[in-house]
Structure 1
Amino acid sequence: MTLLLALLLDAIAGEPRWLWQRFPHPAVLMGRCVGWIDDTFNTGASRKIKGAASFAGLVCAAYILGLLLAAIPGAIVDLLILAILLAQRSLVDHVRAVADGLRLSVGDGRNAVAMIVSRDTRTMDKSAVARSAIESGAENMSDGITAPVFWFAVLGLPGLLVYKITNTADSMIGYKTPRHADFGWAAARFDDLLNYIPARLTAALMMMVTPDRPSWSAIAQDAGKHLSPNAGWPEAAMAHGHNIALAGPRSYHGTTRDLPFVNANGRIALTADDIDASITTLWKTWGLLVVAAVIIALF
């Protein structure tokens, strides 16, 4: 029942601005912890060992904190923490903002999508803006909703907090840059491990609710084209489910990377209407998670 109520509370309330203007969001606090180990230990030699050891410390601390919070009588603590750390409403609002901006102008669409992607947006055309928003929505459906729900269902608050600190660390230090290739290696690999099942579960749920109902084999074939071992699964499900091409060439820090398209035979010219269609799929996928939460509560 806690899982069901948390999903509903997040979908209704989202991220109350009045609250997080007064208090730091837990994700912000996690980010500060990751930033601290980066500033403190990411120096000198043996950076891979230092990164692994300091990241392991964060994971242990998150697990212990989860145990302490779970020991508090009643379900209200579990409910509030899970609802706060889910991101369905926030995700949909950010993706919808791109569609709204794109309907005003390409420039407004670029500004909105720059809030949710790390690639260069200054020279994006309309299709690239829409494609980026749809990709972000699909990937973050797994990272921001399915995976937290999965790990809470499996291990309760300790599992949820371990997942969130890992995902936060991966987003901050898990890049193959000169500074973080070694130091963030452990965080990136552990994030890959924790997202292995949720990413494929998200793809399976999307497969059932997208208009074209793609085959699992088609999704699996294109998922491997993605740089990430996990992000390609929900993106491939979204691409095949709407018969559109996602991923493809994009620019990072002024350097263009000629990456392959996911569902290369799909439609490449995309609009704000395609973003709206992807949002419908995100909500339908969320709806299946709600059904799963009901089943868990009953049995």
Structure 2
Amino acid sequence: MSTAFLLVCAMCLDAALGEPDWLWSRVRHPAVLMGNAIGWLDNRLNQGAHRRLKGVAAMIILVFTAYAVGHLLALLGPIAEIVVCAILLAQKSLVTHVRAVGEGLLNSLAEGRIQVALIVSRDVSAMTEAQVARSAIESAAENLSDGVIAPAFWFLVAGLPGLLVYKAVNTADSMIGYRNEKYRAFGWAAARLDDALNLFPARLTFVMIVALTGQWSRWGEMVGDARRHISPNAGWPEAAMARALDIALAGPRSYDGRMRDLAWVNGNARQNIDAAEVFRASNILWQVWGLALGLVSVWVGFNFIF
């Protein structure tokens, strides 16, 4: 079976089942195992002198281990590849979490804050309704890229080994890729490698959102916003999502009790938003997923015919 056909099957399986609680309440999720490995490396190497070099060594160990595990799992056959790939895609769980924020806001601001705290790392206790909605939509755009399109892309390019390497690096970035005193040196390699692996998928996600929502005339504006963003990759899908919904995203927000004056994305558009925009963003997540599935399916058909 071709890798593209396996990806189509995995995308459909993920969309149908998502992250079943009955399974992950009994066994540890692969992402948890990756996190444990990263935590072990952090505890043993992130100390003393030469922390940047130690961080590079940690990533080399992590990448080679992930590649080897992916290769061994691929030897189990196509069914195993489909199941593992589906587990490491996050389409249904992403939509579920984003919609939960919208549903929480419909009940109360407090419930919206509780739900958005599950998907963002910023301070939520003083968020307004609009800030909760923006946070959910920003998370939706960014995680569409690094939780769905990027894993699918790397599976298509390099099979299960490529997918596991990507997920391991992405998990490392989420754990140690911070610019604070503890991780500025040790997490440098994780952050830079994650930036590199997401470079093309983030821009592919951007193009897909633009293609679906017909915002081609605003291409220059979106590129400008993306380049001003604090992240070299997250700004691309956020810029496209902001224009698709005709709202402003990003802007000032609080982390660890400290307000950061970050640039707005589509700053001249509406800032006073609510649950309705969160649900509209959720619909765009499925539209992009459908486009991705369609493109890969066409590739499968092309290879079958020719």
TM-score by length of 1: 0.98
Return the alpha-carbon distance in structure 2 between the equivalents of residues 117 and 210 of structure 1: 26
Change (3 A) 1:29 1:198: same
Gaps of 5+ in 1: none
Partner of 1:43: 47
CA-CA distance at 1:12 after TM superposition: 0.7
Return the alpha-carbon distance in structure 1 between the equivalents of residues 294 and 285 of structure 2: 14
Q: Identity percentage over the alignment?
A: 54
Partner of 1:133: 136
| 1:74-223 aligned within 5 A | 74-210=77-213, 215-223=218-226
Q: 1:256 aligns to what SS in structure 2?
A: strand
| 1:52-67 aligned within 5 A | 52-67=56-71
Partner of 1:252: 255
Partner of 2:29: 25
Deviating runs (4+, > 3 A) in structure 1? 211-215
Q: 1:228 aligns to what SS in structure 2?
A: coil
- The AA in structure 1 aligned to 2:273 is L
Cα deviation code 1:201-224 (max 9, x no counterpart):
000011122375653322211101
Return the alpha-carbon distance in structure 2 between the equivalents of residues 212 and 43 of structure 1: 48
- The AA in structure 2 aligned to 1:269 is N
Cα deviation code 1:171-215 (max 9, x no counterpart):
000000100000000000000000000000000011122375653
Q: 2:259 aligns to what SS in structure 1?
A: strand
Q: 1:215 aligns to what SS in structure 2?
A: helix
CA-CA distance at 1:64 after TM superposition: 1.3
CA-CA distance at 1:295 after TM superposition: 1.8
Cα deviation code 1:15-71 (max 9, x no counterpart):
010000000000000000011101111011110001110111010111111122222
- The AA in structure 2 aligned to 1:10 is D
Q: Count matched residues.
A: 298
Q: 2:254 aligns to what SS in structure 1?
A: strand
Partner of 2:9: 5
- The AA in structure 2 aligned to 1:39 is N
Q: 2:92 aligns to what SS in structure 1?
A: helix
Return the alpha-carbon distance in structure 1 between the equivalents of residues 292 and 206 of structure 2: 12
CA-CA distance at 1:227 after TM superposition: 0.7
Q: 2:228 aligns to what SS in structure 1?
A: coil
Change (3 A) 1:120 1:241: same
- The AA in structure 2 aligned to 1:32 is N
- The AA in structure 1 aligned to 2:53 is I
- The AA in structure 2 aligned to 1:185 is W
Cα deviation code 1:59-113 (max 9, x no counterpart):
01111111222223x3101100000000000000000000000011111101100
Partner of 1:279: 282
Q: 2:27 aligns to what SS in structure 1?
A: coil
Return the alpha-carbon distance in structure 1 between the equivalents of residues 23 and 195 of structure 2: 32
Q: Is 2:245 the partner of 1:242? A: yes
